[in-house]
Structure 1
Amino acid sequence: MIPRRIVLLHGFTQGGAIWVPIMEAITTRTPIDAPDLPGHGSEANVVSGLARTAQDLALRYGKGAYVGYSMGGRIALHVALAHPEVVSHLVVCSTTAGIDDPHERATRRAADSALAARLLNVGVDTFLTEWLAQPMFASLAVTKHDAEVRATNTAEGLAASLESAGTGTQEPLWDRLHTLSMPVLVVTGENDDKFKALGRRLVECIGDNARHVEVPGAGHAVPFERSADFAALLSAFLR
């Protein structure tokens, strides 16, 4: 069944407009929304944790297909678990259901706080250069459009996002995933070993209504490295 609408949820340091090339390539005739998430773009002054953001999205957009990349994938999982009645299809890309070990989670939370402090210290431009220099983004060609979208962010907004919605703040969701009954597509890049393993675990925990697709030649930022391939996957899944 074709969904009533598609809601696209971006990753950290991006913004809703990052999805424009994919929106233009999706072949289903369905309304598409791609909001700026808290701490980003037009929502730079909004501070919101994952659960509150999920609630706000469910109320704002209602029933449809929720598609999330990285941070947006974690938010999409929260929407699907807390408000399954509004999620007709779920697509998560290069994401996780959380860190199981409480000590590892605390370590990640401290690392996110340190990253937020550095961001406030060096500013957005320097931080983005450092962020995109990580090995996980090695295969991402940062286009003019990509750079312009990221440049709409503020240091204060991104720092607040790290502190309120970073992976270290998230309670693990793994033991709840079996309750998801909608069709689920998990997408990872062939070259992103960490998230390939997490993708396989997501499918194992969800069950037979989930499937995992690895996009050849892609790294972490699958939708933006292989926009046409990702749009084709979405279009086929949502028909």
Structure 2
Amino acid sequence: MNLFYEVKRFGPGPIFLMLHGFTGTHETFQELLQHFSYGTVILPDLPGHGKSQAASEKDYSLQETERALLAILESECPNEKPVLLGYSMGGRLALALSVDYPDAFSGLVLMSSSPGLKTESERHKRRKQDEKWVDLLRTSGIDLFVQKWERLALFDSQRELPVSSQEKIQTERLGQNPEGLAKSLLGVGTGVLPSYWDNLQELTLPVLLLAGEKDLKFTRFANEMLEKLPNRVYHEIAGVGHALQLEAPEETARVIQRFCKDYL
């Protein structure tokens, strides 16, 4: 499987591999990167998203997703260890990569992310919920799915963004292939991936945890992760919610680049 990706260069500095969230694309971090002053950023479309429409059901699994991402790194930076950054779903994938390939990365940035659901009963319940989203995608298409998806409480703070920013998010979502999103949920959805809570203490690389003050669920996760990660720093961004790269792009970029200078 070959994933579509773009590379943006801002001058000498670390290499970043940035993984977007569910319904996102390589353009998810566009506003954030406007405030980057150094480094090289690799921006893939994850399987089922944007221009990366995998052919096989197997290609949507965690294992094949990891292989495809590592193949990009082998092509773009074979002799360097990039900083791995993940937002929301991308954060879960980034954490999985860090656990499965602990020597491949120099640092980890988790934005609005969690290590997954702790128990099998929680994961089973989530799989049942996601099956309803899959059915909606396959029977009603992308328009109705996006209407319902945007009503989730997780995105309440995004309704405070300028209209132009809200329209950008919606356009990105509406541009997705519904079958690709369905297969993504079935392949690497929250109910499918294992819990990584017990693996946190094994991670020795520097970790930056980022969450928005209004995103109570993920600020709670960040504080729980703080107790388990041996080499970590947490920054809570005031006045914003889940989508830090859109709601506070300048501060988020500043914190990420300061983390790299101080800890890598």
Answer yes or no: same fold by TM over 0.5.
Answer: yes
1:42 matched to 2:51? The reply is: yes
Partner of 2:212: 189
1:3 deviates by 5.7
String of CA shifts for 1:190-209, please: whole Å, max 9, x gaps. Answer: 011111111111221112x1
CA-CA distance at 1:150 after TM superposition: 2.4
**In 1, Cα distance between equivalents of 2:29 and 2:168:** 10
In structure 1, the residue matched to 2:70 is 58
Q: Which runs of 4+ in 1 moved over 4 A?
A: none
- Answer whether contact 2:31 2:245 (CA < 8 A) is retained: no
- The alignment's TM-score, normalised by the length of structure 1, stands at 0.93
Question: Is the contact made by 1:106 and 1:168 (CA closer than 8 Å) also made in structure 2?
Answer: yes
> Identity of counterpart residues, as a percentage?
32
For 2:119 and 2:22, the matched residues in 1 are separated by 23
Aligned counterpart in structure 2 of residue 214 of structure 1, from 229, 236, 250: 236
For 2:224 and 2:181, locate their aligned partners in 1 and report how far apart those are by CA, in whole Å: 29
Hey, what's the Cα distance between the residues in 2 that align with 1:95 and 1:51?
20
Q: Structure 1 residues 168, 3: closer, same or farther in 2, change over 3 A?
A: farther
How large is the Cα RMSD of the aligned pairs? Answer: 1.6
Show the 5 A alignment for 1:65-214.
Answer: 65-140=83-158, 141=161, 142-207=165-230, 209-214=231-236
More divergent stretch after superposition (133-142 vs 74-83):
133-142
TM-score, structure 2 length as denominator?
Answer: 0.84
Deviates more, 1:56-65 or 1:71-80: 56-65
CA contact (8 A) 2:109 2:207 kept: yes
Give, in whole Å, the separation in 1 of the partners of 2:117 and 2:166. Answer: 32
- Aligned residue for 1:42, secondary structure, equals coil
Number of residue pairs the alignment of both structures matches: 236
- Report the alpha carbon displacement of residue 151 of structure 1 after superposing the two structures with TM: 2.9
Task: Give the gaps of 5 or more residues in structure 1.
Answer: none
Deviations, residues 123-178 of structure 1 (Å, cap 9, x unaligned): 11221121112111111134343333223311100011111110000111111111
The code of the aligned residue for 1:25 comes to: H
SS, match of residue 87 in structure 1: coil
> Residues 68-102 of structure 1, C-alpha deviation per residue, up to 9 Å, x if partnerless?
00000001001111112221110001111111111
Q: Closer, same or farther in 2 for the Cα pair 1:15/1:110, shift >3 Å?
A: same
